[in-house]
Structure 1
Amino acid sequence: MSLPETESPREFEVVRDPLWNTIRLDATALRIIDTPEFQRLRQIRQLGLAYLVYPGATHTRFDHALGVYHLARMALGVLGERGELRGVDPVDCRLVPYAALLHDIGHYPFSHALEELGEELVSADHEELAGRFLAADGIRAALQELSPDAPARIAELIRGRSSSPLQGLISGSLDLDKLEYLRRDARFCGVPYGEVDVDRLLNAITLLPDPRTGRVEIGIHEKGLSALESLLFSKYQMFRNVYWHHAVRSATALYKRLVHDALLGGVVTAEELVGQSDERLMTILELRAEGRTDAASRRVAERWIPAVRRRRLPKRAMEVPADDLRGLPGDGWIADPALRDRLEARLAAELGLEEGCVLIDYPEKPRMLGLNLLLLRRAGPVQRLADDAGRAGLHLPRVSDDLYLSARAFRVFTTERREISPDRLFALLALSEADAADRLADAEPLL
Structure 2
Amino acid sequence: MSAEISPDEIGKIAEALASRYLEPYLAVVEERQFSRKEVNDSLWGTIVLTPIEVAVLDSPLLQRLRSIRQLGVVHWVYPGAVHTRFEHGLGMLFQVQQLITALNTAWKLQQTEGTQVSPLIDGRSAQLLRLCALLRDVGQVAFSQASEGALENLAGFTTLSSDFTKELLDDEHGEDRQFSEIFAYHIVRSSAMRSLFGTLLRRFAPEVRFNRDDDDAANASEVLKRIARTFIGRKIDDHLPLLHELVSGPYSAERLDQLVRDARFAGTPSLLDIPRLIQKLSVRCMRADELPQDIAGQISVSPGEDTWLFGVKRSGASVLDELQLAQVLAYTKIYRHPKVVAIEQMVRSFIEAASKLVTPRQLLMFLYSEADDAIVSFSRAALAEALGLGAIQLRSDQEEQLRRAEAILRAIRERSLWVQAFQYPGSYLARDDEDPRARNLDQFLELLMHPEKREHFAQRLRDEVRTMTVLLGNKSAFTDAAFDSMVMIHVPGQIAGETQTGRAFLIQKSGEPVPLSQSMATRGNWAEQYMSEQPRAYIFCPPKIADMVYVAAEKLVRVELDAKLPGLFIEASKREGKVVRDLKRALQPLDYWKGTPYDIHPKPERMDRLDASRTIVKFDELRQSFQEPEADPSQDQASGQIPKNRRTSAWLRQFETSDHVDCALTVLRSFKLLTRDDTVAAVRSFISISTEFEGACVIPFGSMKDSSVMDAYFAPDVGRPFIDGVHTIEEYAALDTSRPLIFLDNFIASGNQATDVLAAWFGREDLRKQELHEKREALAPQTIELLRRTKIAFVFVAGWNNGIDAVRKITKELGVDAQVHCYLTESDLPFAKECLLKAKHDPAKVDGFLKRCREIGRELVASQVRTKPLDAKTASDRELGYGNRAMLLATLVNVPTQSLTAVWMPGKVDGSDWSPLMRRRKKI
Equivalence for 2:383: 285
2:411 is the alignment partner of 1:357: no
User: CA offsets per residue over residues 43-91 of structure 1, 9 Å max, x none?
Assistant: 1001111111111111100000100000111111111223368566764
Which structure has the higher relative contact order (CA within 8 Å, separation 6+)? 1
**The one of 134, 138, 143 aligned to 2:196:** 138
Cα contact 1:329–1:429 (8 A) shared by 2: no
**The one of 498, 503, 508 aligned to 1:377:** 508
Equivalence for 1:437: none
Superposition pairs of residues 55-66 of structure 1, within 5 angstroms: 55-66=79-90
2:527 is the alignment partner of 1:400: yes
Residues 427, 217 of structure 1: CA spacing in aligned structure 2 closer, same or farther, 3 A cutoff? Answer: farther
Equivalence for 2:233: 160
Residues 429, 152 of structure 1: CA spacing in aligned structure 2 closer, same or farther, 3 A cutoff? Answer: farther
Residues 94, 358 of structure 1: CA spacing in aligned structure 2 closer, same or farther, 3 A cutoff? Answer: same
User: CA offsets per residue over residues 299-340 of structure 1, 9 Å max, x none?
Assistant: 113x21211211111122111223469982444443444433
Identity %: 24
Equivalence for 1:201: 277
Normalising by structure 2, we get a TM-score of 0.43
2:139 is the alignment partner of 1:46: no
Equivalence for 2:402: 297
Residues 380, 444 of structure 1: CA spacing in aligned structure 2 closer, same or farther, 3 A cutoff? Answer: farther
Residues 151, 332 of structure 1: CA spacing in aligned structure 2 closer, same or farther, 3 A cutoff? Answer: farther
2:346 is the alignment partner of 1:254: yes
Tell me, in whole angstroms, the C-alpha distance in 2 between the residues paired with 1:76 and 1:150. Answer: 18
User: CA offsets per residue over residues 331-382 of structure 1, 9 Å max, x none?
Assistant: 4443444433322222122223633221111121133222211111355431
2:266 is the alignment partner of 1:189: yes
Aligned-partner residue type, residue 75 of structure 1: L
Equivalence for 2:460: 346
Tell me, in whole angstroms, the C-alpha distance in 2 between the residues paired with 1:427 and 1:278. Answer: 41
Aligned-partner residue type, residue 39 of structure 1: Q
User: CA offsets per residue over residues 151-189 of structure 1, 9 Å max, x none?
Assistant: 111000111112433111111222111111111111111
Cα contact 1:344–1:358 (8 A) shared by 2: yes
Cα contact 2:271–2:325 (8 A) shared by 1: no
Equivalence for 1:328: 442
Q: Which moved more, 1:264-273 or 1:377-386?
A: 264-273
Tell me, in whole angstroms, the C-alpha distance in 2 between the residues paired with 1:15 and 1:414. Answer: 43
Tell me, in whole angstroms, the C-alpha distance in 1 between the residues paired with 2:498 and 2:454. Answer: 25
User: CA offsets per residue over residues 217-271 of structure 1, 9 Å max, x none?
Assistant: 4321123222221221121111111110010000000001100111013387343
Shift of 1:114: 2.3
**The one of 73, 81, 105 aligned to 1:81:** 105
Tell me, in whole angstroms, the C-alpha distance in 2 between the residues paired with 1:286 and 1:205. Answer: 52
Shift of 1:106: 0.8
Residues 14, 429 of structure 1: CA spacing in aligned structure 2 closer, same or farther, 3 A cutoff? Answer: farther
2:364 is the alignment partner of 1:271: yes
Extract unaligned runs of 5+ from structure 2. 1-24, 109-117, 162-178, 210-218, 297-307, 429-438, 470-482, 564-593, 601-924
Cα contact 1:331–1:429 (8 A) shared by 2: no
Cα contact 1:72–1:176 (8 A) shared by 2: yes
Extract unaligned runs of 5+ from structure 1. 433-442
Aligned-partner residue type, residue 404 of structure 1: M
Residues 55, 214 of structure 1: CA spacing in aligned structure 2 closer, same or farther, 3 A cutoff? Answer: closer
Aligned-partner residue type, residue 383 of structure 2: L
Superposition pairs of residues 403-442 of structure 1, within 5 angstroms: 403-415=530-542, 416-419=544-547, 420=550, 424=555, 426-427=557-558
Residues 8, 360 of structure 1: CA spacing in aligned structure 2 closer, same or farther, 3 A cutoff? Answer: closer
Q: Which moved more, 1:202-211 or 1:30-39?
A: 202-211
Tell me, in whole angstroms, the C-alpha distance in 1 between the residues paired with 2:200 and 2:441. Answer: 51
2:122 is the alignment partner of 1:98: no
**The one of 167, 172, 180 aligned to 1:126:** 180
Name the SS of the counterpart of 2:311 in structure 1.
strand
Name the SS of the counterpart of 2:424 in structure 1.
strand
Residues 177, 445 of structure 1: CA spacing in aligned structure 2 closer, same or farther, 3 A cutoff? Answer: farther
Q: Which moved more, 1:326-335 or 1:162-171?
A: 326-335
Residues 207, 407 of structure 1: CA spacing in aligned structure 2 closer, same or farther, 3 A cutoff? Answer: farther
C-alpha root-mean-square deviation of aligned residues, in Å? 3.3
Tell me, in whole angstroms, the C-alpha distance in 2 between the residues paired with 1:13 and 1:402. Answer: 46
Superposition pairs of residues 66-77 of structure 1, within 5 angstroms: 66-77=90-101
Normalising by structure 1, we get a TM-score of 0.85
Name the SS of the counterpart of 1:113 in structure 2.
helix
Q: Which moved more, 1:149-158 or 1:170-179?
A: 170-179
Tell me, in whole angstroms, the C-alpha distance in 2 between the residues paired with 1:262 and 1:127. Answer: 23
Shift of 1:10: 4.1
Cα contact 1:44–1:60 (8 A) shared by 2: yes
Cα contact 1:211–1:383 (8 A) shared by 2: no
Equivalence for 1:319: 423
Residues 335, 92 of structure 1: CA spacing in aligned structure 2 closer, same or farther, 3 A cutoff? Answer: farther
Greater Rg over alpha carbons, structure: 2
Residues 309, 10 of structure 1: CA spacing in aligned structure 2 closer, same or farther, 3 A cutoff? Answer: same
Q: Which moved more, 1:87-96 or 1:30-39?
A: 87-96
Cα contact 1:221–1:377 (8 A) shared by 2: yes
Cα contact 1:330–1:431 (8 A) shared by 2: no
Tell me, in whole angstroms, the C-alpha distance in 1 between the residues paired with 2:422 and 2:295. Answer: 49
Cα contact 1:12–1:26 (8 A) shared by 2: yes
The alignment of Structure 1 onto Structure 2 pairs a total of residues equal to: 428
